[in-house]
Amino acid sequence: MMALLAQVAAFLAALWAAPHLGALWHALFPALARPTWDSQSWFTLLGEHLLLSLGAALIAAAIGLGAGIFATRGAGRALRPLLDAVFALAQAIPPVAVIALALPLLGFGAAPTLLALVLYAALPVMRSAVAGLDAVPPAVLDAARGTGMGRAGILARVELPLALPVIQAGLRVAVVLSIATTAVGAVAGASCLGTPIVVGLANGNTAWVLQGALFTAWLALIADRALRLGLRHGARG
């Protein structure tokens, strides 16, 4: 826990320091005239990155969980083959392709990225919800019915708590995926930590690319670590 907080602090300190390290960037990239990224504040980019990825993850979690619950009971079971087909197809289409395809329809900016994020982050949540709910032993459900619980009660008090560890793992994948895909969204004009990378690539400014890449990777690693830690606490509590 302390290590994680220290890492967050170091990350924020590095974000603050980056624009003030002109000497360092000049030394590393002597050929470039403007090696320091200063067109936007790193904190603004971080905020936008988090808003977009976490917002999308939230929407995706709601959709994925709902679909997962729907597909494990009653009429929804008939749509299971469709879910399997969606998973298989989604695997074959990289997120950047969805962003690119949505671009002409939704225009430049965050919208195409948001669409791709929601689509791709919903899949692991849905899959883990289905797997977790499927894995609840029939004997437990039988016992719950035997004690006179209603359907909603069984779902809320028996099935979901038992499926929680699996669903949490799916949520972690969704958030990590969403943070990573947001960075790609920069090519479609979404403002985020990936923006310096894309702008740097377009202008041949490798210093901007390095700074953007460094912070994007760092954010992803911190998020992954925090989620793992959170899940372990959740599992214990």
Say if residues 37 and 208 touch (Cβ distance below 8 Å): yes
Q: Which of 140, 217, 229, 235 binds other proteins (CB under 8 A)?
A: 217
- Taking CB under 8 A as the binding criterion, the range among 2-10, 59-67, 115-123, 215-223 that sits at the site for other proteins is 215-223
Binding flag, residue 116, other proteins (CB under 8 A): no
CB of 138 to other proteins, least distance (A): 18
CB of 217 to other proteins, least distance (A): 4
Q: Which of 124, 132, 170, 212 binds other proteins (CB under 8 A)?
A: 212
User: How does DSSP classify residue 148?
Assistant: T
Tokens of 158: 């028996």
Say if residues 194 and 182 touch (Cβ distance below 8 Å): yes
Q: Can you tell me the distance from the alpha carbon of 41 to that of 18, in angstroms, rounded to the nearest whole number?
A: 10
CB of 29 to other proteins, least distance (A): 9
Q: Can you tell me the distance from the alpha carbon of 139 to that of 9, in angstroms, rounded to the nearest whole number?
A: 48
Q: Can you tell me the distance from the alpha carbon of 47 to that of 65, in angstroms, rounded to the nearest whole number?
A: 26
Q: Which of 206, 226, 230, 231 binds other proteins (CB under 8 A)?
A: 206
Burial of 35 (0-12, 13-18, 19+ CB in 10 A): buried
Residue bearing tokens 């499927």 = 134
Largest CA distance in the chain: 76
Q: Which of 4, 63, 96, 164 binds other proteins (CB under 8 A)?
A: 96
Q: Which of 63, 169, 199, 214 binds other proteins (CB under 8 A)?
A: 214
Positions of E strands within 73-209:
none
Binding flag, residue 80, other proteins (CB under 8 A): yes
- Taking CB under 8 A as the binding criterion, the range among 3-11, 17-25, 62-70, 100-108 that sits at the site for other proteins is 100-108
Say if residues 99 and 112 touch (Cβ distance below 8 Å): yes
Please provide the size of the chain in residues.
237
Q: Identify which of residues 60 and 184 has a Cβ nearer to other proteins in the complex.
A: 184
Tokens of 144: 């719950």
Site string for other proteins, 162-201 (x = CB under 8 A): --------------x--xxx-xx-xxx-----x--xx-xx
CB of 94 to other proteins, least distance (A): 3
- Sites of contact with other proteins (CB under 8 A): 77-82, 84-89, 91-94, 96-97, 100-101, 103-104, 108, 176, 179-181, 183-184, 186-188, 194, 197-198, 200-201, 206, 209-210, 212-214, 216-217, 220-221, 224
